[in-house]
């Protein structure tokens, strides 16, 4: 697997020296310039430069829309075929007939699978906010959510371009300083990289089958060493959708069984000072959740809501708001990178 990208390695080494006006630029000065540009982009956030961030965010949206419009214009046959298929589906959905019972059944199943797969994708990108996304989502959603790091690393390796993604840069730095890694985090990342690189399919399967916060590194490693797509995605899908899902299911069933929950509540009550004050609202919250899951509440809104559920709901709102802010910041920084790349290319042509 490590031999797959040997030519790309040689090309990347050659590109480390930048040719400008017949002279080779010192690689250290090039790296210093890239570091300064990266720091400038990282300062473009809503809480530091709100006006510039919103302006760049809007311009980036326009650039993306223009790019997509151009791509669709050059693929008119695909667009026309899609519109025709969509028209047939709409007609089938709204025209009355005996086929409607099958349409409704398909619609119900489609919405069910789309909902849980969507939760799986959101969970893999950092929006897992509750037990339902941990236990019940389809593992194919999380497997799909792991594809961006793989495609990013693969495209960067094949193109020979300099990466801007922080995780990919950290990965390359780790490869350069592989022998000097001392701290636990670096050794753990290195272990994941070696496992995936040497073992291949079964290494990816092992990383995907357990709760692993470093799995993005496995995707980057597979993309960097040009692991075939179906090897990576197949192992990820089997690990997350079959093995890991059942491990999590067994863990949740055992952990939240009635006697263990009762022991946990009793343990909270035994905490000196704050235990008794926390025990009652925690017990009420668990009972309210149990009533919801078992559909035993006769009222539209449970009466047992307390400050714990209120705090949990507000936490979810805060996480969603932070996710939206991060998207705005990321798109604004992406437009700033476009400006920097244009200025750099203009300097090279002078």
Quick one: pLDDT band at residue 314, thresholds 50, 70, 90?
Answer: confident
199 & 289 share domain: no
Torsions phi, psi for 240 (to 5 deg): -85, -40
Residue 98 CA to its chain's centroid (Å): 42
Burial of 176 (0-12, 13-18, 19+ CB in 10 A): exposed
Residue with tokens 């998207």: 327
pLDDT at position 19: 46
Torsions phi, psi for 20 (to 5 deg): -145, 115
Please, are residues 241 and 146 in contact by the beta-carbon 8 Å criterion? no
**Does residue 156 form part of some domain?**
yes
Quick one: pLDDT band at residue 195, thresholds 50, 70, 90?
Answer: confident
Over residues 229-287, the pLDDT tens digits come to 898 889 888 988 888 888 877 877 776 677 777 777 788 777 777 777 777 777 777 77
282 & 198 share domain: no
Beta bridge partners of 23: 20
Please, are residues 293 and 256 in contact by the beta-carbon 8 Å criterion? no
**Does residue 326 form part of some domain?**
no
> Which residues are CB-contacts of 231 (< 8 A; sequence separation ≥ 6)?
200, 201, 204, 222
216 & 151 share domain: yes
238 & 262 share domain: no
**Does residue 265 form part of some domain?**
yes
230 & 264 share domain: no
Over residues 202-240, the pLDDT tens digits come to 888 888 887 766 676 777 778 877 888 898 889 888 988
b/e per residue 226-261 (b: at least 16 CB within 10 A): bbeeeebbebbbbbbbebbbeebeeeeeeeeeeeee
- The rounded distance, in Å, linking the Cα atoms of 264 and 285 is 14
239 & 289 share domain: no
192 & 271 share domain: no
228 & 181 share domain: yes
**Does residue 327 form part of some domain?**
no
Please, are residues 195 and 206 in contact by the beta-carbon 8 Å criterion? yes
Domain residues for 273?
257-294
193 & 230 share domain: yes
Q: Which two tokens stand for residue 271?
A: 């905490």
Query: pLDDT above 90 covers what percent of the chain?
Result: 12
178 & 261 share domain: no
- The rounded distance, in Å, linking the Cα atoms of 196 and 181 is 18
Query: What mean pLDDT is predicted for residues 128-149?
Result: 65
Q: H or E stretch including 94?
A: helix 76-94
Beta bridge partners of 24: 19
Q: H or E stretch including 24?
A: strand 23-24
The whole model's pTM is what?
0.58
Torsions phi, psi for 23 (to 5 deg): -120, 150
Total domains present in the chain: 2
């Amino acid at each position: 697997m490590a031999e797959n990208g040997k030519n790309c390695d040689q090309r990347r080494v050659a590109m480390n020296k930048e040719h400008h006006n017949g002279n080779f630029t010192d690689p250290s000065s090039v790296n210093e310039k890239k570091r300064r540009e990266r720091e400038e982009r990282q300062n473009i956030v809503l809480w530091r430069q709100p006006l510039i961030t919103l302006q760049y965010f809007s311009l980036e949206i326009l650039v993306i829309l223009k790019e997509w419009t151009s791509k669709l214009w050059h693929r008119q046959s695909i667009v026309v075929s899609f519109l025709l298929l969509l028209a047939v589906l709409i007609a089938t959905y709204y025209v009355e007939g005996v086929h409607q019972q099958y349409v409704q059944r398909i619609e119900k199943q489609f919405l069910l699978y789309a909902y849980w797969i969507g939760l799986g994708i959101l969970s893999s990108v950092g929006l897992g906010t509750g037990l339902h996304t941990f236990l019940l989502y389809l593992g194919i959603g999380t497997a799909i959510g792991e594809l961006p790091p793989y495609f990013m690393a693969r495209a960067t390796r094949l193109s020979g371009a300099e990466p801007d993604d922080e995780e990919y840069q950290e990965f390359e730095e780790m490869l350069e300083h592989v022998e000097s890694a001392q701290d636990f985090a670096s050794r753990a990342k290195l272990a994941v990289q070696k496992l995936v690189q040497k073992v291949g399919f079964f290494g990816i399967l092992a990383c995907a089958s357990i709760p692993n916060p470093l799995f993005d590194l496995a995707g980057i490693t597979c993309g960097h060493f040009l692991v075939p797509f179906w090897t990576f995605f197949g192992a990820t899908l089997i690990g997350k959708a079959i093995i890991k899902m059942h491990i999590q299911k067994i863990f949740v069933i055992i952990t939240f069984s009635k006697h263990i929950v009762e022991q946990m509540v009793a343990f909270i009550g035994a905490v000196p000072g704050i235990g008794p004050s926390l025990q009652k609202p925690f017990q009420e919250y668990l009972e309210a959740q149990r009533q919801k899951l078992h559909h035993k509440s006769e009222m539209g809104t449970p009466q047992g809501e307390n400050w714990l559920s209120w705090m949990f709901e507000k936490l979810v709102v805060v996480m969603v708001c932070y996710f939206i802010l991060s998207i705005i910041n990321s798109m604004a920084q992406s437009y700033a990178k476009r400006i920097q790349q244009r200025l750099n290319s203009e300097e090279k042509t002078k």
